[in-house]
Amino acid sequence: MGERLLTRNWGTPERHALKSYLAAGGYQSLKKARGMEPAAIVDEVKRSGLRGMGGAGFATGVKWGFVPRDNPRPRYLCVNADEGEPGTYKDRYLMERDPHMLLEGIAIACRAIGAQTAYIYIRGEFHAVADRLETAIAEARGGGYLGHNALGPGVDLDVWVHRGAGAYVCGEETALIESLEGKQGKPRLKPPFPAVVGAFAAPTIVNNVETLAQVPHILERGAAAWKALGVNGGSGTKLYGASGRVERPGLWELPMGTRLSEIVLEHAGGVRDGKRLKGVIPGGSSCPVLLPDEIDVPMTFDALMAKGSMLGTGCAAVLDEETCAVRLCLRLMRFYAHESCGQCTPCREGNHWLAKIVQRIESGRGEPGDVDLALEVAQNILGNTICPLGDACAMPARAFLQKYRAEFETHVRERRCPYGSYPIRPGGREITG
């Protein structure tokens, strides 16, 4: 399985406590960072090849380098711990099982960008995890790793946990910032980008939990050694997950670039009950589905983009031969229709229309032109919204409609679901309005 970094403390007693983290060598990278120039930390992270693990995949060190050094305003670090992507559960485990690893990454990142305040914007439903983070922050402050002189003589660092209200769109960095400021969680137009004008109109960096948790290991080993842990063009390690119709749903730390086929067929034990594989959504529900003959692909941002999908969060969802693609597509469309903030017309109206069309097909009331109509609506959403939520709806919809078109057409033609023993009854939960 390769070397474990993010999960190396998970098997130790009281793994979430400061004493356990220190016993495993914790906060040594922060001590090293205190003696480095901020620009040197940024350069080390750049050389490592670390990219944003929340789904966007932007180069972390490059992002840090966008913070203007001559701006007199305070600088902020915002940690995206919202983890609202369906099928994703990696960040929750990182915060729950080893919160000090995240806090050390936060402290190093703040040293690098010149920030003295960090906010952990956590998903509102993560009550126990938020409480554990609060405890870890108090422990770190008591140990001198946060608070007074945490980043060097005369350089303090405050870290605060901010609980969100369960809005998917607040996983987008500018919507997160708006919510943090006490406003409605609606994305901002860019530019200006948060690195220049972010939280409270000050330079701000927004990073994902897993991204920051890797930073102590990069400084501990050096950029070249950390990067070499990856395979097939990947850098370092990555938390990969698999859920759905597999024998062993779970989460594994593997070399970045591990093939999707290996994750599904070996680590997750393959499709459960001996069923045939129908498809894999590689990294959260916003990623276009891949067919069985497409999954022998490295789980990297670039390799999956070349396949017409995305790495996303790296947590795959597996479909077996008995999964109805139309019904699954409908569930996704309902989710994105519900989660649209309503700011952009293509997303507000388009997601809703997609859900209505797919619902009509699924309920046995589809018309011959509905599949093409849904594809047209999806195409008109793509690239026409302020934030990627519209694309997150349109891209998986288009993939399902194209790759399982025969299944959609069977629903229309036969007015029933071929995966059930009964005709689909009109009614149920309707998308209305």
Cα gap 284→179, rounded to integer Å? 23
Do residue 312 and residue 331 come from a single domain? no
Do residue 26 and residue 122 come from a single domain? yes
Last residue of a domain, one of 264, 297, 320: 320
Banded pLDDT at 416 (limits 50, 70, 90): confident
Residue-wise pLDDT for 125-138, tens only, equals: 999 999 999 999 99
Cα gap 280→242, rounded to integer Å? 9
Inside any domain, residue 427:
no
DSSP classification of residue 422: S
CA angle 296, 321, 307 (to 5 degrees): 30
Residues 38-62, mean pLDDT to the nearest whole number = 96
Do residue 118 and residue 37 come from a single domain? yes
- One DSSP character per residue, 148-161 reads TTTTSTT--BEEEE
- One DSSP character per residue, 226-291 reads HHTT--TT--SEEEEEEEESBSS-EEEEEETT-BHHHIIIIIS-SBGGGPPEEEEE-SSTTSPPB-
Those residues whose C-beta lies under 8 Å from the C-beta of residue 206, and which sit 6 or more positions away, are 77, 78, 79, 80, 173, 176, 177, 194, 198
Copy the structure tokens of residue 368. 């011959």
Cα gap 174→179, rounded to integer Å? 9
Question: What percentage of the chain exceeds 70 in pLDDT?
Answer: 97
Of residues 142, 65, 151, the one with CA closest to residue 107: 151
Q: Give yes or no for residue 421 having a pLDDT over 70.
A: no
SS3 track for 6-58: CCCCCCCCCCCCHHHHHHCCCCHHHHHHHCCCHHHHHHHHHHHCCECCCCCCC
Cα gap 391→336, rounded to integer Å? 10
Q: How many separate domains does the chain show?
A: 3
Q: Give yes or no for residue 36 having a pLDDT over 70.
A: yes
Specify the length of the chain in residues.
433
Do residue 193 and residue 259 come from a single domain? no
pLDDT at 418: 84
pLDDT at 1: 64
Residues 163-187, mean pLDDT to the nearest whole number = 96
Last residue of a domain, one of 202, 227, 252: 227
Do residue 62 and residue 204 come from a single domain? yes
- Mean of all residue pLDDT scores within the chain: 94
Do residue 83 and residue 184 come from a single domain? yes
User: Token match 């793994």: residue?
Assistant: 15
Residue-wise pLDDT for 91-109, tens only, equals: 999 999 999 999 999 999 9
Residue-wise pLDDT for 236-253, tens only, equals: 999 999 999 999 999 999
Banded pLDDT at 427 (limits 50, 70, 90): very low
How many angstroms separate the Cα of 310 from the Cα of each of 114, 248, 316? 32, 23, 11
Of residues 189, 200, 173, the one with CA closest to residue 52: 173
Residue 295: other Cβ atoms inside 10 A: 22
Banded pLDDT at 166 (limits 50, 70, 90): confident
Cα gap 131→218, rounded to integer Å? 28
Q: Where are the beta strands (DSSP E) in 117-184?
A: 117-122, 158-163
Do residue 108 and residue 164 come from a single domain? yes
Query: At 109, which CATH number?
Result: 3.40.50.11540
Residue-wise pLDDT for 190-232, tens only, equals: 999 999 999 999 999 999 999 999 999 999 999 999 999 999 9
Inside any domain, residue 209:
yes
Inside any domain, residue 5:
no
User: Token match 């709806």: residue?
Assistant: 393
Last residue of a domain, one of 289, 320, 351: 320
Cβ 101 vs Cβ 60: under 8 Å: no
Cβ 354 vs Cβ 332: under 8 Å: no
User: Token match 């997950």: residue?
Assistant: 241
Do residue 121 and residue 176 come from a single domain? yes
pTM here?
Answer: 0.94
Inside any domain, residue 431:
no
Do residue 182 and residue 145 come from a single domain? yes
Cα gap 302→49, rounded to integer Å? 13
Sort strands 237-244 and 315-320 into parallel, antiparallel or unpaired.
parallel
Of residues 432 and 218, more confidence is placed in 218
Banded pLDDT at 305 (limits 50, 70, 90): very high
Cα gap 119→158, rounded to integer Å? 9
The dihedral through the CA atoms of 212, 214, 217, 218 has a sign that is negative
Residue 287 structural domain = 237-320
